[in-house]
Structure 1
């Protein structure tokens, strides 16, 4: 078959070479057609789909390493920034005295736990008295416990209890303490067979100073009658 097409193909190529600089694309098409050369070739759809898939896969292979490199660069920049900030706060890196933004690492506070960590631990203990006269722990249930549950214990059922009761303590609001005691009465009634007659709120302050023996102070801050 090629033996029959080759003469026409060569003639078309020669014609293109002669008129390449003078004819527009449409004229070139007519010139090729006049020589009997096939001007368009139909490509099967499967071939196009395969080429598209290969192109997409190639683009994905190129994009993934690029994203990885960018993420590594961003992580490195963030790490360097944190190190420089801490070095500046410790005085190892000098910074300008004037700052237009008004924020400098030297002005940051790093004394949450050091160099003077808190020397006291304060928590609430709620002593409930049942209708039969039994004293119970209205927060944790069971018998009244004045100590925490182990060295890392908080004395509360969860961290949320601790955070909330810290807010109550620091707020020093008598009405808020009354709401807490009333809620403890309702909570006990919903989870136990018997009811509470009253709830007494106590603060337990444990003092721990370096080189000194710890001490514990217990103070009653509220007594609430359960309705």
Structure 2
């Protein structure tokens, strides 16, 4: 048992069945840890290309603007202490080192805690570029803090003086992690039930008609209508069946988990959804039963022994020095509060999502609406409009030039709408600019004023809105978002 209160022994014969369903193989937790560490590093590499644009005072969201939009949350960000590029680069480098340490499992709990704090700080520095995958990653890593992620396949395991290791972990912590995945799928299914396009079987057709999302193989499959209709119902069926991920055991659970894994790999191959498919694959690893990990361990046994040989001395001692990363009193306190903390995570998660789908009432004066922070991925219906940004700059010379920094765009439809957004974070940010208020738009205009070559007097920002129609040509409409004087908004 670990990371939470054990299942009460008074349940008698029911107890083993509950443990089998709510527990996680220690090797599954190790794979989960490795995947999270890799994702943290991958996320940093993706963000690094826009380090100046998204995280410095010369970018699209200076600290003053972030403070105006999120006065409380912005104060909690370590990344918000400075708007200089070198400071952000240093924080990225530190986070990268801790991501590597998490992968190898060195002082795992301490490293995971620091990694979570750095990730939360980074996300709070620019909330406008976040999507569902970022939230899942933050929540998954937080729940992982209360689980023995370094029990297997880690430097911690090699340095452990005791020869005993737990093969199976069960408690409130494992239940909380498993429930987070189920809540994502189940609440999304409930929202989709309340829509019309999913129930008509056309939702996936609309998703693949949105050029700003489709990439790689997505353009090829977009024209195969029968396949998209089949995928519509197959994915909805999987969402409805998600609770079976806990109910089933053995080969049945393996098969259902494999179906979800295949679905998320398919998402990655066809759509640009940020970290979402990657982090869901990481979370699904903990559902694989021990028999799967037995097979994987046998396949990797040779490589594991070779790696262990390089990391240990001839006497079997680790080459890397170990010692307690935290004082004993702190670690004992952490062990005492872990059951209560993980039980709270479990209950709060259930209540929050119940409120989000309307099963629990929320006071009218509540500062936060759970529905606004729930798993509504393409639900209740996917968007039925596409589009691209247009920005023009008027120079002091009287010339008008294209100010949009990512592509040569105009009123005519570009050959590839997705190519006008360099990555998913720019797409999300520009979506927030389009749907946001004057504060977001002025900050974007100021960025365009600074990034456009030549002395710029003003910039005009617009969006060409394209209505998606499955049975005919898509009409377009130009939406004027504003004209801004550069000296007024700041160069």
Normalised by the size of structure 1, how large is the TM-score?
0.46
Normalised by the size of structure 2, how large is the TM-score?
0.23
Which of 1 and 2 has greater Rg? 1
Which structure features the higher share of helix residues?
Answer: 2
Considering Cα pairs closer than 8 Å and 6+ residues apart, tell me whether 1 or 2 has the greater RCO.
2
Which structure features the higher share of strand residues?
Answer: 1
